[in-house]
Chain A
Amino acid sequence: MVPLKPADAIIISLVIAFAVVSFTFLPKSAGEKFVVTHDGKIILEGELSKDSEYSINGSLGQMKLLVKDGKISVVKSNCPRKLCIKRGSISKQGDSIICVPNRVIITIQGKGEIDGVTG
């Protein structure tokens, strides 16, 4: 009933090959730096390669961030449900930890080189 032809396999495998290639090369490469915003304003930027502890001020008071082994996590926060702490540590490009009560967003970014392409 379904009118497939043998050559369709070529198209399907091309698409799958493309997906595999983009999974391997494009995405989820380890991030280089992290950016922390509070109320949409950048309050802290740093390298993931340097192990360190940071204190920042969210809407509910002080939060502590820990950078270790190329990953960043929230270790202390005054927010009621502590979801930002339970989120654990993040390290991949595009990942983020969002603490809504504190209005704080931590995002991982890659190298700046891709920016250059778009100008």
Chain B
Amino acid sequence: MTESQDRLKRIVLIALLASAAGGIWFLENLINPSSFRIGIANIFTLTALYTIGGTPAFLVSIIRILIGSTLAGKLFSPIFLISFSGGILSVLGMVVAKKLNRFSMLGVSIAGAFLNNIAQLLTTYLLMGKPSGMLYLFGYLSIVSIPAGAFVGWVSYLATKRVLPLFRR
């Protein structure tokens, strides 16, 4: 396989993952608008991270948020900023966790889910100026991020196994 073919495959994969993630993110928001979501869209980010690397994972995450919030009619609204902060911090954390080479995809995914919650709660807190009533969510969201992150990590593991062969020469 030539280098330009490889490059093309990467670009196509990023586009595919990001657009699917945007749609899924929007759907999950419709079905479950509460704070306690599984974060199915993170499957696509994680799959990108483990097949084509950290920068593509960032791209998938950012494009997903742009697409998702455009679909929801919330582009550049506070909700957009909250998602964006969560996306950036969770991808950063997952890239670092993967680099450490000690954690499985499930562990990396849980770290991502957890960091996503932290960033989103802090951003909400700062944007809304709403103090006490909201911070109690921290603990509950952290607990929920363990099974949710593990589920996402496991599905991503299955997806990665199928996508990876495309990039082996």
| A positions within 8 Å CB-CB of B | 2-5, 7-8, 10-12, 15-16, 18-20, 22-23, 26-29, 93-94, 107, 109-110, 114-115, 117-119
26 A-B pairs with CB atoms under 8 Å apart are A2-B106, A2-B154, A3-B106, A4-B104, A4-B106, A7-B107, A8-B106, A10-B107, A11-B110, A11-B114, A12-B146, A15-B146, A19-B140, A19-B142, A22-B135, A26-B139, A27-B135, A27-B136, A27-B139, A94-B133, A94-B134, A109-B132, A110-B132, A114-B131, A118-B125, A118-B131
Most buried by B among A4, A8, A22, A110: A8
- Given A12-B107, A114-B131, decide whether A7 and B102 contact each other with a Cβ distance below 8 A: yes
Most buried by B among A10, A11, A29: A11
- Given A16-B143, A118-B129, decide whether A3 and B105 contact each other with a Cβ distance below 8 A: yes
Inter-chain contacts of A23 with B (CB < 8 A): 139
Inter-chain contacts of A93 with B (CB < 8 A): 132-133, 136
Which range holds the interface residue count of chain B?
20 to 34
- Tell me the nearest residue of chain B to A119, going by C-beta: B129
- Tell me the nearest residue of chain B to A17, going by C-beta: B142
Pairwise interchain contact A8-B142, C-beta atoms closer than 8 A: no
Q: How would residues 136 to 169 of chain B score, 1 for a CB under 8 Å from any chain A CB and 0 otherwise?
A: 1011101101100000001001000000000000
Pairwise interchain contact B104-A5, C-beta atoms closer than 8 A: yes
CA of A109 to CA of B114, assembled, Å? 27
Q: Is the interface of B mostly helix, strand, loop or mixed?
A: helix
Q: With an 8 A cutoff between CB atoms, is B126 at the interface? A: yes
Inter-chain contacts of A18 with B (CB < 8 A): 114, 138-139, 142
Pairwise interchain contact A26-B107, C-beta atoms closer than 8 A: no
- In the assembled complex, the CB of B142 is this many whole angstroms from the nearest CB of chain A, namely 4
Inter-chain contacts of B97 with A (CB < 8 A): 11
Inter-chain contacts of A115 with B (CB < 8 A): 129, 131
CA of A29 to CA of B131, assembled, Å? 13
CA of A11 to CA of B111, assembled, Å? 6
- Tell me the nearest residue of chain A to B93, going by C-beta: A11
- Given A5-B104, A19-B139, decide whether A94 and B132 contact each other with a Cβ distance below 8 A: yes
Q: With an 8 A cutoff between CB atoms, is B76 at the interface? A: no
CA of A18 to CA of B139, assembled, Å? 7
Pairwise interchain contact A8-B107, C-beta atoms closer than 8 A: yes
- Tell me the nearest residue of chain B to A28, going by C-beta: B136
CA of A20 to CA of B138, assembled, Å? 10
Pairwise interchain contact B102-A5, C-beta atoms closer than 8 A: yes
Q: Which single member of B103, B133, B140, B146 contacts A5 (CB below 8 Å)?
A: B103
CA of A2 to CA of B133, assembled, Å? 38
